[in-house]
Chains A and B, each alone.
Chain A
Amino acid sequence: MALSLWEILIRSKGGPIIEEKQYDLALFKKTQELQKKYGIKYDPNKPVDVEGAMADQIYWAGTELFLELGTYCTTTKRVIKVSEKELKEEIRSRPEALELGQGRDRVKMGYREVEGRQEPIVIAGIQTIPFSDEEMMFKISKGCAMDRCVDGIWGGILLKISAKYDVVAGSPSEIYQYRKATEILRRAITAAGRPGMIIINNAPTSVATIAMYDEGVGLRRSDGMVVTGMSELKVTYDDLNRTAFALACGVPIHGAHSSTIGGFSGNPEGAAITAIAGSLQLISVQRAESIRCGVTDSRLKSRVSRAQLWAAGTAIQGLSRNARLIIDGSIGDHPAAGPGTKQYLYEAAAGFIISTVMGAHSTGGTRKFVVGNVPNYGTPLESRWMGEVCKGAVGMSRAEAESLIKYLLGKYEDKLKDAPPGETFEKLYDQGKLEPIPSYLELYEEVKVELRDRGLQFRDQKE
């Protein structure tokens, strides 16, 4: 019998009961065993797997991990197991392409090959940041949407209701304010001349996320729905609420999972294995049709350290080579450095190049890793960078990517723990013209020329 959400729910109620701590320790033990069994070894001198043999081993190790360990449901404290036959059927039955957005802004997001010529879909915008007020959110979102090298944008949240009341997750204010923010987002893309482009937003709770859907003024079926799993092979009923809504309404499900270097996956090799297992979980348990395969590091507030680039990139490559799934990489979406700095552009470029070359799209938006409650901490220029780099890296070989990645790592890897904070939109943009201030644009162009000289063929160069 094919898997379904309902079968998953039954297993979440009837699977083996286990303490969360025991599950976490079993994950650690198993990832360490599997890397020995499959001969998986991270070599810091080779941040990119240019051959693909290691990627294949990681794929098979991750598959074994998922089948043996299962998914931990923190709501019921039980393990949800999926059989090998069921997993194969889930992979086989996933679509090779999704059509997202509407009208002339509609795009096709399909399976991409490693080093593939298919252009990746880029969903930019400043992911889930707080905005100071409606006008600022409208302006920044419109600016992000205007750039033709992006296919969609993320939304964020307004910090206060009526400039007075805090927005609190799990309270009525969350539902109200996320819904209002989404309406602003839709108005912004319409004002940018792209009324059918994909918009995404994701509230802390499922009820507030579901409340954003409205074919007229909110999120539409054609925008898809992000279903984020908890870190390292866990799921909650709140995650599955999103799945249930999406299935009922015919909304394509985009699952997102991250394994953690230094967490219960242990070393980079373990994190790469868990990243595969998490991706297979998204397909089987959360019923995702496209999947974000990510790796974080418990010691860093960035996603593009050398080890992360290797772990995430190799896991994506493993998925792309062994399963024809629609994969999202988005590795460059959370730099340690802030907007307006060269380091931001270097970090973002490294992650997005790996994502594209390894066979992934990038739908994670742009934002400094930690923005705190500082409003308007990002500009449309980072969205342009995301689009330009993701699409510029199409056609690049893994060997070429490795050379460029090593160059970029040399620019930032010793500064990840003490990255420059950058500036907010107000400091970096002429708000009247909705254009970057000259010094920011100069810095942007300078880095662009730098990367162009090292082999990144930006679209304007290709055309």
Chain B
Amino acid sequence: MNQAKRNEDQEQLLESLKVAIVEIDGDRAREAAQKIIAAGIDPRKAINYSIKEAADTVGQKFDCGDLFLAHLVMVGDLMDEVSTILEKNIPSDQLQRKRVIVIATVQGDVHSVGKNLVAVVLRAAGFGVHDMGVDVASSLIIQKAKEVKADMIALSSLLTTTMPYQKEVIDDLASMGLRSQFKVMIGGGPVTRDYANKIGADGYGKDAFEATEEAKRLLT
């Protein structure tokens, strides 16, 4: 088999994995991942091409209304599963560590839709995401960020009266001497970039996609 044919076959396999993820077809995605390994393709290529491209495509489909939040959750699960298959075949010293983000809606606030959306889009974009849910106290968020060695803390607030809790997390990090260990990104209905700057956050996202771009900018 000549090199050109081998390259073509490789590209087809990588593409088939991408398409299977976008179509949320678990059987086909797992099979494609196994075939990629059996064909001797560097699994990192599959991670950097198939999964990344699938994440971008799914994000675009969500943005224009072809896919919904549930699809993003399912795609995230499938991407995790496929990544695990691929990563098992990468020498541990060559494994690229996923950037980890702890996300929560702050204390006193039970709004979940926006935060859920940000969490799944971040996950679909390849970040390791720990979603702590809603109404979460600053101390618990910081504890979790330390525990999972997070790179970033993402904080949502939908109420004017819960925005001070975003500042509280930043202030608590500073007082504990941990501020430089974590980037902090904030968002939510009443939150603005000006407010983010005012309270010393590193980043701000007005929606899930802007938040994801901001996370990429801050962590890569």
Give A contacts to B, CB under 8 Å: 20-21, 24-25, 27-29, 74, 130, 157, 159, 166-171, 174, 204-205, 230-232, 236, 238, 260, 262-267, 270, 296, 298-299, 301, 369-373
Contacts and interface: CB of A to CB of B under 8 A. Distances in A.
Contact of B108 (A168, A232, A264, A270): A168
B135 to A, nearest CB: 8
A205 B160 contact: no
B112 A231 contact: yes
B191 A372 contact: yes
A271 to B, nearest CB: 10
A372 to B, nearest CB: 4
Contacts of B161: 157, 167-169, 174, 204
B214 to A, nearest CB: 18
Interface in B157-195: 159-165, 189-192, 195
B contacts with A: majority SS? loop
B190 A372 contact: yes
B140 to A, nearest CB: 14
Given A166-B164, A170-B107, A204 B112 contact: no
A236 B110 contact: yes
Which 7 A-B pairs give the minimum distances between C-beta atoms?
Answer: A169-B108, A28-B70, A170-B108, A169-B161, A266-B68, A372-B190, A169-B162
B109 A204 contact: yes
Contact of A169 (B117, B159, B207): B159
B165 A263 contact: no
Contacts of A232: 113
B73 A21 contact: yes
Contacts of A166: 164
5 contacts: A205-B108, A265-B68, A298-B117, A372-B160, A372-B189
B103 to A, nearest CB: 14
A135 B207 CA distance: 35
A147 to B, nearest CB: 26
A264 B67 CA distance: 11
Given A168-B165, A169-B161, A296-B113, A263 B190 contact: no
Contact of B195 (A159, A264, A373): A373
Nearest to A156: B160
B68 A262 contact: yes
Nearest to B64: A299
A371 B162 contact: no
A103 B180 CA distance: 61
B68 A299 contact: no
A266 B70 contact: yes
B49 interface: no
B70 A157 contact: no
B195 A24 contact: no
A373 B107 contact: no
A296 B69 CA distance: 14
Contacts of A371: 190
A24 B162 contact: no
A99 to B, nearest CB: 31
A164 B53 CA distance: 50
B63 interface: yes
A25 B107 contact: no
B69 to A, nearest CB: 5
A370 B73 contact: no
Task: Give the residue among B116, B165, B189 with the most A Cβ atoms within 10 A.
Answer: B116
Contacts of B207: 299
Task: Give the residue among B62, B69, B189, B207 with the most A Cβ atoms within 10 A.
Answer: B69
Nearest to A258: B113
A159 B160 contact: yes
Interface in B58-86: 62-63, 65, 68-70, 73-74
Nearest to B167: A166
Contacts of B69: 24, 28, 260, 262-264, 298
Nearest to B70: A28
A231 B114 CA distance: 11
Interface in B80-117: 107-114, 116-117
Given A168-B162, A205-B108, A25 B190 contact: no
A204 B159 contact: yes
Nearest to B157: A169
A236 B110 CA distance: 9
A365 to B, nearest CB: 16
Contacts of B159: 169, 204
A97 B160 CA distance: 35
A230 B116 CA distance: 13
Contacts of A270: 68
Contacts of A236: 110
B113 A373 contact: no
Nearest to B165: A168
